[in-house]
Amino acid sequence: MATNTLTITDNRTGRSYEVPVADGTIRAIDLRQIKVDDEDFGLMSYDPAFLNTASTRSSITYIDGDRGILRYGGYPIEQLAEESTYLETAYLLVHGELPTEAALAGWTQEITHHTLVHENVKHLMEGFRYDAHPMGMLISVVAALSTFYPEASTVDDPEVRAAQAVRLIAKVPTIAAWSYRHTRGLPYVYPENELGFTANFLSMMFRMAEPRYEAHPALERALEVLFILHADHEQNCSANAMRAIGSSKVDPYSALAGAAAALYGPLHGGANEAVLKMLAEIGHLQEVPGFIERVKKGEGRLMGFGHRVYKNYDPRAKIIKQVADEVFEVTGRNPLLDIALELEKIALEDEYFVSRKLYPNVDFYSGLIYEALGLPVAMFPVMFAIPRTAGWLAQWLEGADDQEQKIARPRQLYVGAKERDFVPLEQRAGRELVAV
Ligand code: CMC
C-alpha cells in the first residue's frame, strides 16, 4: 500500500528515517533529524542557486517549463495577452482574481490618481548626471520613495500594504519616463488622468510641445501586451529578491528597489539590452555563423536564449514575435531583425543549443520592439521593471500573509579556515598575500 512518505537510509549509521512527502516535496528541515551522533548538527540539503528548492507556496503564477506553459492565476498567458489589459492583469496578480467591472473601474481610478510624484522627487532626479543610466535612476528613486511615505514601514497593516502597492504601480511609470527624459535633457512631462496606463506612459515619454500626445493605437496595444507578458514570472531572481528583502519587514519601496536591482543584471532583465548590443556587434548576416561558433566555444553567450525553467520554449517569446511583426508594420522593419532571425534559425538547428534545450526567451525580440518604439537601449531594463512592479508586489503581499514565512536566511557550507590565532601585523611579512 503506497504511503506519502520517503524512507531514507543513512548508510553512515545504518539508521532509517521516514519523512512525509506532500505536493511532491519533502521539507528540508525534516532532514535535520538525520545525524551521525549527538554532536552532529544534522543533515542539510545543499542547493546553490535554488535549482531544486521550493522557497514558498504561491498561487500567483504557474509555469510548466517542459511544456512551455505560463499562467497568471490559472489564466493562460496567451488569453491574457489577447484579451486583457495591463491594469486588469496587475489586479489579477495582486488580488488573485480578475476584477468585476466595478472593481476594475475603482482600481483604474486609484492607480490613475497616484501617478503624480512629490515635486522633491523631480528635484532629486534632476540631480543625476546628464548621462545617468535610467535603470540606476529608477532603482535609486524607488528606494527614495520610502522617505516620502514613512507610514509604509508599518508592513503588518494590510491596508498600508495595499496603499503602497497602488502607489508603486502608479508611480514607477512616471519615474521611468522621467529617467528617460532626463537622459535626453527634455523637460519632464506630468501624467494625465484622462489617458489610460500605457497611453499615459507613452505621453510622459514622448510628448514634446503638442497639447496632447497621440500614441499610434497599434503601438499602444503592443506595449500593453509586452507589459502583460512581463508582469510576473514566479520565483525568478528579482521576485526572490523582493520576497527575501521583504521578509525582513522593510518597507516595500526599499524591497522593490532591491528587486529592480536584481532585474538589472544581464542574466535577468538586462538581457534585452544585452541582446541589442549583441545584434549590433554582429552587424551583418554573414557574421552570424562565426558568432555562433564563438558562443559554442564558450566565448560569450547567445543573449536572449536559454532559461532556467523553460526547457521547451518560452511562451512569451512566441507572443512577442507576433507583436514584433505588428509593430514593424507601423514603424518599418528593424534591420537587426534579420540578424536575430538568422541567429534563431541556426541556433534552433544546432546540436549545441538543441541538446542544452536552449530556445529564445522573452528578451530575444522585446529589445527589437522597444527600439522600434524609439527607445534607447538603456531604457530596456526599465521597460521590464515597469510591468514587473505588479508581480513583485503580488509576491511581496503573498509573502506578508504567509504564516509559514520567516526572515529568509539560508544556511551555508563553511569551507574556510579552521580556528586559528590572530597574527600580529609585524609577524605577517613573507606570508602569501590573499587577494581581497
Ligand atoms: N548561450 C550559450 N550557451 C548557453 C546559454 C546561452 N544563452 N544559456 C545556457 N547555455 C549553456 C551553458 O553554457 C551550459 O552549458 P554546459 O552544460 O556545457 O556548461 C548549459 O547551457 C546550461 O546553462 P546554465 O548556465 O547552467 O543554465 P541556467 O539555468 O543557470 O541559466 C540563463 C539560465 C537564462 C541565465 C542562461 O540561459 C543565460 O545566461 N541566457 C542568456 C541570458 C538571457 O537571455 N537571460 C534572460 C532570461 S529570460 C528573462 C528573465 O526572465 O529574466
Mean pLDDT per 10-residue interval, the chain, length 436 residues:
93 98 97 98 97 97 95 98 98 98 98 98 98 97 98 98 98 98 97 96 96 93 97 97 98 98 91 91 94 95 92 90 92 90 93 94 90 92 97 98 96 97 91 58
pLDDT at site 124: 98
Atom of ligand 1 nearest to the CA of 238: 52
For 423, residues 6+ apart whose C-beta sits below 8 A from its C-beta are 431
pLDDT at site 433: 56
| CB contact at 8 A, 27 and 20 | yes
pLDDT at site 414: 97
pLDDT at site 338: 92
Q: What are phi and psi of 16, to 5 degrees?
A: -115, 150
pLDDT at site 435: 55
Say how far apart CA 104 and CA 46 lie, in whole Å.
Answer: 45
- Residue nearest atom 13 of ligand 1, based on CA coordinates: 298
Nearest 5 degrees, angle CA 64-CA 264-CA 356?
A: 40
Q: Which residues line ligand 1 (CB under 6 A)?
A: 233, 236, 267-269, 271, 295, 301-308, 356, 358, 361-363
**CA 304 to ligand 1 center in whole angstroms:** 9
pLDDT at site 405: 95
- Residue nearest atom 37 of ligand 1, based on CA coordinates: 306
Count of residues in the chain: 436
Say how far apart CA 338 and CA 340 lie, in whole Å.
Answer: 5
pLDDT at site 434: 56
Type of residue at 25? T
Helices 86-95 and 217-229 cross at an angle (nearest 10°) of 20
**CA 311 to ligand 1 center in whole angstroms:** 11
pLDDT at site 313: 84
